[in-house]
Amino acid sequence: MSVGEIMVRVRYAETDRMGLLHHANYLVYFEQARTELLRSKGMTYKDLEDEGHLLVVAKLEIRYRSPAYYDDLLLIRTKQVRTTNVQIEHTYEVLRGDVLLAEGSSTLACVDRDGQLQRLPDKLTEDT
């Protein structure tokens, strides 16, 4: 099981009228965390996509436990928890220091340029 961590600083543009990180932006951080997890394994999502393996989000769950604020430095921890022939499952934790702010999970499906399901490339299934 591969695990990765990134640090993200909450941008002003990502906050909302409540002064908090807007809830939709957690999904953008999750995506960035997945990207960096791949990079840490010697791949880039860009190359995957350019080779015709598109990973689309099929399912996503998130539980917001405590708010994140402007300028917070957050740790996003991602685990690739399960991989089938055509899908990858990740879990996510968002932390500020020791405080768990949010938790989530996602299922990605591998499709071709026409949106048809296809097998994940071997390099993605081998090293989970």
Residues in contact with 46: Cβ distance below 8 Å, sequence separation at least 6, in sequence order? none
Sole binder of its own copies in the list 25, 78, 80, 83 (CB under 8 A): 25
Q: Which of 74, 107, 78 is closest to 91 using CA atoms?
A: 78
Beta bridge partners of 9: 73
Does 123 engage in binding with its own copies (CB under 8 A)?
no
Tell the smallest beta-carbon distance from residue 79 to its own copies (Å): 19
66-105 footprint of its own copies as x/- string (CB under 8 A): -x--xx----------------------------------
**Any catalytic annotation for residue 127?**
no
Q: From the DSSP assignment, how many helices (H) and strands (E) are in the chain? A: 3, 5
Sole binder of its own copies in the list 3, 40, 52, 61 (CB under 8 A): 61
Q: Which of 34, 10, 32 is closest to 108 using CA atoms?
A: 34
How many Cβ atoms sit within 10 Å of the Cβ of residue 90? 22
Q: Which is nearer to its own copies, 79 or 104 (CB)?
A: 104
Q: State the residues that interact with its own copies by CB under 8 A.
A: 9, 11-13, 15-20, 22-25, 27-28, 31-32, 35, 44-46, 49, 54, 56-64, 67, 70-71, 115
